[in-house]
Chains A and B, each alone.
Chain A
Amino acid sequence: MRDVSIIGIGQTPVDEHWGKSLRHLAADAVLAAIQDAAVERADALYVGNMLSGVIAGQEHLGALIADFVGLRGIEAFKVEAACASGAAAVRLGYIAVAGGLADVVIAAGVEKMTDESNEVVTSGLAMAADGDYELPHGVSFVAINAMLMRRYMHVYGVSHDDFANFAVVAHQNAVNNPNARFQSSLPTSRFLDAPMICEPISLMDSSPIADGAAAVVLCATELVKDPARAVRIRASAVATDCLSLHDRRDPLRLDAVEMSAQKAYMQASVAPTDIDFFEYHDAFTIMAALSLEASGFARPGRATELAREGAIALDGRIPVATMGGLKARGHPVGATGVYQIVEAVQQLRGEAGANQVAGASLGMTQNIGGSGATVVTHILEA
C-alpha cells in the first residue's frame, strides 16, 4: 500500500449561494484545489454529496462536475453516505491512490441547501435515518438528536446549559475564518436564551444548513513535488452502525465513532493524547459531546466537563472546530467532511492565521453520517 498525501485544497465560503448553481460551486472549489496543488491533470474525481437529487433535481454529479472543470473523460462519480458523504469521497480517493490504481485524485464535496423550502430540506435530511423503522414515526433529524440529548442529560445528570461551551468555542473560532457562515462570537447568555427548536435542542445547539463546496487533491507521497506543503494521510478509517437509534447497543455510545477512531489510531500508531486538534462533527452540541467521548478524548458523560475546563479551546489540550466547526463555519452536509479536511490541512501547513494551533503536527477529522451510522475518521500529519 502506498503512502498518500494531500497536495492541494480549495473551498468556497459557506453561505447562501443563491447566485451559483451546484456545478459552479463545485467548480470553484475543485479549480482552487487544482491550482493549489499545481497539477495539470487527475486520474479521478470523487464527489461527496447527499441531497442534489432532492434539492437541485440533479444526480450524476461525477461526470457533470468533471466535465465542467475541464476534466472530461476521467473516472468520476458521486459518493453518498448522508452527512459523511464528503469524507467518504476522500476515503475513496485514498483507497484509489494507496492501492496504486491512481496517482492523483480529486475528492470534492458539494451541497446546495438554501434554494429549497425548509420542509423539503428537512425531509431530505431525514432520509439519513431508517426509512422503514424511524421515519414512519415522523421524526426529523433534530428530533433524533433531541432524544439523544434528553437521554444524555438524564443518564449523566448534566443540564442543557452545560453544552454551551461547544457552541461558544465554535463561534469564537469562526470569527477569524473568512469562509465561515457565522463570523461572529456567541456570548454564553445568547446560548442560554436561544429559542427552542426541539426540546432540549435550541437554535444555538444546532449547526446551520448552508451552501458550499470544498475539495482536496490527493497524490501518492512518492510522487509529491513539493513535500514542504504536502500533508500526509496517516489514517483513513470508516466504520458503520445500524441506522436506527433503537437498534443500538447503547444510544449514548456511538460504536461506529469508536470503531472508526480506534482503527485510525491503530493505522497511525498513535493514541488520542498524540492528536493536536480534532475537527469533529458538531452538527448538534450533543454530537460534539458523544464524538469526544467515543473517540477517547473524554470518558462517557464527561465531555461537557472537558469543554468547561477549556480543553477544547485553541490553546487547550484538544482544540476542536478550529475554524468554526459545523456550528459556525456551517454544515453544507455533503461538503462538510471535505471542509474539515481542508481546514486540518490549513492547520498542518501553518496557514490557519489567527486560529493557528501552536505546533500542530497531527490532526484528526471525523465526519458522521446520520445519527452515527457512518463514521469516517482521518488522521493527517504535517
Chain B
Amino acid sequence: MVESKAMKPSREVGIIGYGAYVPRYRIAAEEIGRVWPAAGSTPVEEKSVPGLDEDSATMAIEAARNALARCGGLDPKLIRAVWVGSESHPYAVKPTGTIVAEAIGATPSTLGADLEFACKAGSEAMQMAIALVGSGMAAYAMAAGVDTAQGRPGDALEQTAGAGGAAYVFGPAGESLAVLEASYSYVTDTPDFWRRPYQHFPQHGSRFTGTPAYFRHLLGAGSGLMEELGYSAADFRHVVLHQPNTRFPTRAARDLGFKPEQYRTGLLAPRIGNTYAGAMLVGLSAVLDVAEADDRILAVSYGSGAGSDAFVWKATEQLSARRDLAPKTETYVARREPIDYGLYVRYRKKLYAH
C-alpha cells in the first residue's frame, strides 16, 4: 500500500492560541551598509535587534504568554509539552523549554525541551506538538520558534539576521482558531549553513544557499503538500514562507503560483529581517491576525541543513473573537526604535565576540 506523503493526526488538531514577539529596536540595512559597504541592493529595509536584556528565552516567554492569552482561559497546567526551537538558545546545555514552561505555569506535569534545526527548529516543534495532541497523548501542547540570530560583522548575513519569534498552543480541533488539514516535511542532508560548537557566528555556502538549499526544500515541501491535497494556489487565501530576505520568499511564492495579495500579509522580512526559527511562525501569526473564517493558509518553513515543514491550516469562526486577547503582530512590527551601528554593536555584544 502506497501511503500519502501528507501527514494527518489520528484526531483533528488545531491552533488554540498563538502569539508573536518582536523586539523594538531596528537597524536599517542602509546603516549597516554605511559601516560595511556592500554591492547591490539591500536584502531587507531594516531588521529587528534585541535589547541588552533580551534573549531567546525572554522572547519565547513573551510570545508564549500572548499565545496563552488567546487560548480563552485555558489552564496552563493542561499544556503537557513546551518545546522551543531556536539556534540561539541562551544555554548550550540547559533547556529554554523549561524556562518558558515555568514562566507560563505549565510545570511540573509537562514535557519540556529544545530543538535545533537552524530556521526549521520552530516548525519542527510544531510538528511534534501536533503529533502529541493528535495521538491523544496530551490535550494541549505548545511549540515556539524564536531567535536572536547571529551574523558576523561584515558578512552578508549581518544585513538580515534579526530577532523575534512566535508560540503556538495546539489542542482539539473543536476549540481551535485554525484547524490543521495536513502537513508534510521534506528533509535532506544539505550543508548550506552551519555553526560549529564554540563559534559565535555561522558560516554559509554563499550562492549554494539558494537553488539547491532554500528553493529545493521549500518548494519541495510546499508543492508536495499542495499536490497531495489536490490544491492549487487559488485554493488559498494566504501563504507564508520562510523569509531569510525579501527576494527568496517572493520568488518562491510566485514559483508556487501565488499572487502578491496572497503572500503580502505574511511577508515581514523587509521590516524585521530574518527571525530564523521564528520567521515562518511570526509570518503565520500576522496572517492569523487578519484571516477570516474558512480562509485556507499554506505555511512553509525552511531550515538549513536542510529541510522544510509545510502546513495547511483552515481558519475557524472562533478566530475573530479571540485574536484581540493579545497584541497583534503588526503592533510589534510597527513599534520601532531605530538605532545606529554603534548601539547595535553594544546591544548585540559584538565587541566581545570573536
Contacts and interface: CB of A to CB of B under 8 A. Distances in A.
A117 B206 contact: yes
Interface in A205-244: none
Given A195-B40, A203-B39, A18 B203 contact: no
A122 B207 CA distance: 16
A118 interface: yes
Nearest to A18: B212
A16 B207 contact: yes
A361 interface: no
B39 A195 contact: yes
A118 B206 contact: yes
Nearest to B204: A117
B26 to A, nearest CB: 26
Contacts of B40: 195
Given A18-B212, A114-B207, 5 more contacts: A16-B208, A19-B212, A115-B208, A117-B203, A117-B205
Contacts of A19: 212
Interface in A1-29: 16, 18-19
A104 B40 CA distance: 50
Contacts of B206: 117-118
Nearest to A119: B203
A22 to B, nearest CB: 17
A117 B208 CA distance: 10
A115 B190 CA distance: 12
A290 B208 CA distance: 34
A186 to B, nearest CB: 16
A151 B113 CA distance: 62
Interface residues of B, number: 8
B318 to A, nearest CB: 47
Interface in B240-288: none
A281 to B, nearest CB: 25
B13 to A, nearest CB: 38
B23 to A, nearest CB: 31
B76 to A, nearest CB: 46
Contacts of B203: 117
Contacts of A117: 203, 205-206
A18 B208 contact: yes
A18 B207 CA distance: 11
15 contacts: A16-B207, A16-B208, A18-B208, A18-B212, A19-B212, A114-B207, A114-B208, A115-B208, A117-B203, A117-B205, A117-B206, A118-B206, A195-B39, A195-B40, A203-B39
Interface in A67-117: 114-115, 117
Nearest to B39: A195
Interface string B184-206: 00000000000000000001011
Sorted from nearest, which 7 A-B pairs have the closest CB atoms? A195-B39, A18-B212, A18-B208, A16-B207, A203-B39, A118-B206, A195-B40
A195 B208 CA distance: 22
Interface string B26-50: 0000000000000110000000000
Contacts of A203: 39
B214 to A, nearest CB: 14
Contacts of B212: 18-19
A115 B206 CA distance: 10
B321 to A, nearest CB: 50
Contacts of B39: 195, 203
A19 B203 CA distance: 20
A117 B39 CA distance: 18
Interface in B33-92: 39-40
Contacts of A118: 206
A232 B206 CA distance: 43
Contacts of B208: 16, 18, 114-115
A203 B39 CA distance: 9
A220 B40 CA distance: 52
Nearest to B205: A117
A145 B262 CA distance: 49
Nearest to B40: A195
Contacts of A114: 207-208
A287 to B, nearest CB: 22
A117 B207 CA distance: 10
- Most B CB within 10 A of own CB, among A16, A19, A118, A203: A16
B41 to A, nearest CB: 11
A119 to B, nearest CB: 10
Contacts of A115: 208
Contacts of B207: 16, 114
A88 B262 CA distance: 57
Nearest to A194: B39
A115 B212 CA distance: 12
A203 B40 CA distance: 11
A114 B207 CA distance: 9
A117 B212 CA distance: 16
Nearest to B192: A18
A52 to B, nearest CB: 19
- Most B CB within 10 A of own CB, among A18, A19, A195: A18
Interface string B224-244: 000000000000000000000
- Most A CB within 10 A of own CB, among B39, B40, B203, B207: B39
Contacts of B205: 117
A300 to B, nearest CB: 33
Nearest to B210: A16
A195 B40 CA distance: 7
Interface string B127-141: 000000000000000
B273 to A, nearest CB: 22
A35 B206 CA distance: 36
A260 B80 CA distance: 78
